[in-house]
Homo-oligomer: A and B are copies of this chain.
């Protein structure tokens, strides 16, 4: 396999995989392209490489910047904007974990807490509902805590220790 083929395979795999972390195909592919590119790319470059429209490129680049994993860079002497991605996989996963917690886990935890707090009227249906939603709340809360700690900057030492321990 040579570079071009490998590149295409990587980008397309990353694209279909986007759903694993909740983003669409074009967005994941733009990220993949930037991730393996040795230098920043312009919107033009991205449109051409992925055969997508200008609007698509623009919107998804903004989405990636909102996720905090793609940045604008200024290339001296160039009028247009260039983009580059977070290249450090540790920082990348930290950022993704942080955003997923904020966007998905935390709102869910809030609702679980809410619904599990209904008054117990003594019926089987209510008892089961409270028991199960409480259990789910505790699970989500623990998962959120672990996720945030494991990927947090300050506690990075623990991650390394853990990884070694678990390997």
Query: What range describes how many residues of A lie at the interface?
Result: 35 or more
In the complex, the count of this chain's copies comes to 2
Assess whether B17 is in contact with A118, with CB atoms less than 8 Å apart.
no
CB < 8 Å neighbour of A87 from B7, B13, B132: B132
Q: Tell me if A82 counts as interface (CB < 8 A to partner B).
A: no
Q: Tell me if A79 counts as interface (CB < 8 A to partner B).
A: no
Q: Using a CB–CB distance below 8 Å, which chain A residues touch chain B? A: 1-3, 6-7, 9-10, 13, 17, 19-20, 22, 35-38, 87, 89-90, 93, 100, 104, 108, 111-112, 114-115, 117-119, 121, 123-129, 132-133, 135-136, 138-139, 142-143, 145-146, 149-150, 158, 162-163, 166-167
